Amino acid sequence: MTDYEVVIIGAGVAGIYQIKRLTDLGVNAVVLDGNEDLGGTWFKNRYPGARFDSESFTYGYSFSKELLEEWHWTEQFSPQPETLRYLNFVADKFDLRQYMQFNCRVEAMTFDEDTNSWTLRLHDGREITTHVVLTAIGVLSIPTTPTFDGMDTFLGESFHPFDWPDAVDLAGKRVAVIGTGATAIQLIPEVAKVAADLTVFQRRPNWAAPLNNAPISDEEMADIRRRYDEIFAACARTPGGFEHEPDRRGFYEVSREDRLELWDRLYDGPGFGIWLQNFTEIFMNEEANAEFSEYIADRIRGRVDDPELAEKLIPKDHGFGIQRVPLETHYFEAYNRPNVHLVDAAAAPIEQITANGLRTSERDFEFDVIVYATGFDAFTGAFDRIDIQGVDGQKLRDKWSDGPITYLGLMVSGFPNLIMLAGPQTAATNFPRGAELAVDWTTPFLEHLWANDLHRFEAMPDAEQAWVEHVADMYEPLLLRTAKSWITGYNSNLEGHEYGKMRYNIYNGGGPRYTRRLQDVAGDGYRGIALT
């Protein structure tokens, strides 16, 4: 006997939906989460400016008509506090908290071949046994902080945005933000409004495009409710899982004038339209991408008063859209403020943190607050934090030392009775859509096991290898394969990651193709999975 039939690790978007599906079936299941409460990413990321870059109404769950009728999104792109309220509303509406345990960080889990079960060890020393483990631990849930000399000597406040203190007050302070990734791009305009002085340390600039957020009126929300079936159907048929469908016209079949008209309309429109409603050639053709990137560069130049500064904010080492595009609200205009300064941390690297600030190769700076907006250990980081031991004591972090190896992004050979919900090598670009897809495949799979008295499942090595090769093949036609990003791992400076080595972290075949593959596998008796 085990303590539970199923343990879900993580009480974020995927974990909440999965426990709903399992408890509806009467399964003895529990959710373990290391935080003080539910919400996952949206519980932790409380920095100013944190919000969806997916349209709110495409981000929410689709499984309950009643829920869709009751919840009113107030903004087209929901801010973090509203998103957290939404997830709490869902959990309370369906009385899901009774199945959740918080402050339960899983430190290790070991598979027992004699009993076909997992033993999980928690940070408080407790052990929990279960037949099946479902991980819902998030793609970007492990923040990375730099390792500058002297970080422990700084007398002011310092933190990663993931751990933003509730009580921090930046008003009138001298603030440093280190990094210009997606988080910093949301954060910097908000800090600039209140800080006496803000200095941004940029190692390499990122492309970004306007979010163009707006409130949602009662009339607009009523129209969204009427169109929910249409909205979710559109998300299901688009490659990225959003409403934005690519322009199917050929790039060079359209005149330059018409291309500019499209780009102006998309740039001034909301969300990922400028990226995902564009011509598909910008992702695969260097000349097309270069033309479009120059268009975006000109738009940035038009928003930054200082021409020399504008050029520093325009990437020169990669084109627009070949890695995930951060969406921003007045990010470039923030640099027009007299209290905001940009430091080229590539030309003048940070050498150490001092008691009163930091020192670069050129000079000393004094700060009251330092924000380390230095990114996340993406995709595999949350798995590496848990000592996961499968068959014959093999460790998952060892198997994944050169990057994730999976079957369908759901299972790993050598690690039976383990399913990853929206983990690496899936098509979970618009995460809740991908999370629902994973849960809606996993739940009937588990029902199949229980109905047929099957106690063990495991990805077959040849099926796993074929999937990994397929994932790699999907990178080949895309300019993304050259990007120095967290999607490829090329720019990784993380411990145990080889710098410059490709890591096939995501599935680039698109949501519809990925969905068909899952359906085909299920329809073929769960092909590629050994069932015992």
Cα separations (Å) of 529 from 18, 447, 453, 504? Answer: 21, 15, 16, 22
- Alpha-carbon 33 to chain mean position: 18
In this model, does residue 259 exceed pLDDT 70? yes
Residue 405 one-letter amino acid: I
Q: Are 211 and 329 in contact (CB under 8 A)?
A: yes
Residue type for 282, please? I
Confidence of residue 240 (pLDDT cuts 50, 70, 90): confident
User: What is the C-alpha separation between 231 and 354, in angstroms, rounded?
Assistant: 52
Contact status, residue 129 vs residue 415, Cβ threshold 8 Å: no
pLDDT (0 to 100) of residue 485? 81
Q: Tell me the mean pLDDT in the region 117-136.
A: 98
CB 416 within 8 A of CB 503: no
Please, which pLDDT band fits residue 276 given cuts at 50, 70 and 90? very high
Condensed to tens digits (0 to 9), the pLDDT of residues 43-75 reads 999 999 999 999 999 989 999 999 999 999 999
The model's confidence at residue 1, banded by pLDDT at 50, 70 and 90, is confident
Length of the chain: 532
CB of 3 within 8 A of CB of 92? no
Q: Which of 238, 297, 233, 231 is nearest to 263 (CA)?
A: 297
Hey, what are 123's tokens? Answer: 């940070």
Q: Check whether 496 has a pLDDT greater than 80.
A: no
> pLDDT digits over 217-228, tens only?
999 999 999 999
| Under 8 Å between Cβ of 206 and 182 | yes
Q: Output the 3-class SS for 208-261.
A: CEECCCCECCHHHHHHHHHCHHHHHHHHHHCCCCCCCCCECCCHHHCCHHHHHH
Q: Taking a C-beta distance cutoff of 8 angstroms, is the pair 10, 33 a contact?
A: yes
Could you tell me the domains of the chain? 4-142+378-459+512-531 (3.50.50.60)
In angstroms, how far is the first alpha carbon of the chain from the final one? 18
DSSP assignment of 346-378 equals TTS-EEEE-SSEEEESS-EEE-SEEEE---B-T
- Maximum alpha-carbon separation in the chain: 69
- Residues of the chain with pLDDT > 90, as a percent, come to 90
Alpha-carbon distance 367 to 257, whole Å?
48
Other Cβ atoms closer than 10 A to 508? 24
DSSP helix, strand, coil percent of the chain (3-state; round to 5):
35, 20, 45
pLDDT of residue 81: 97
Query: What Cα–Cα distance (Å) separates residue 344 from each residue in 9, 360, 524?
Result: 40, 10, 55
Give the pLDDT confidence score for residue 430 in this predicted structure: 58
- pLDDT exceeds 70 at position 299: yes
| CA–CA separation, 119 and 418 (whole Å) | 12
Q: Are 320 and 292 in contact (CB under 8 A)?
A: yes
d(CA 514, CA 129): 32
Residues 6+ apart with CB under 8 A from 143: 160, 161, 162, 163, 374, 375, 376, 377
As a whole number of angstroms, the distance between CA 435 and CA 18 comes to 9
The per-residue pLDDT for 486 is 77
Cα–Cα nearest to 402, from 496, 326, 314: 496
Pairing relation of β-strands 418-420 and 127-135?
parallel
The structure tokens 């990784």 sit at 492
pLDDT tens column, 184-232: 999 999 999 999 999 999 999 999 999 999 999 999 999 999 999 999 9
Beta bridge partners of 190: none
How many other C-beta atoms can be found within 10 angstroms of the C-beta atom of residue 194?
Answer: 15
Helix (H) and strand (E) counts in the chain = 18, 20
Mean pLDDT of the chain, nearest integer = 95
Nearest alpha-carbon partner for 326 in 194, 179, 490, 428? 179
- Own/partner contacts of 499-504, CB < 8 Å, gap of 24 or more, are 501/402, 501/403, 502/403, 502/475, 503/379, 503/380, 503/402, 503/403, 503/404, 504/403, 504/404, 504/425, 504/468, 504/471, 504/472, 504/475
Is residue 492 very low, low, confident or very high in pLDDT (cuts 50, 70, 90)? low
Averaged pLDDT, 4-24:
97
Q: List pLDDT tens digits, range 429-470.
A: 656 788 999 999 999 999 999 999 999 999 999 999 999 999
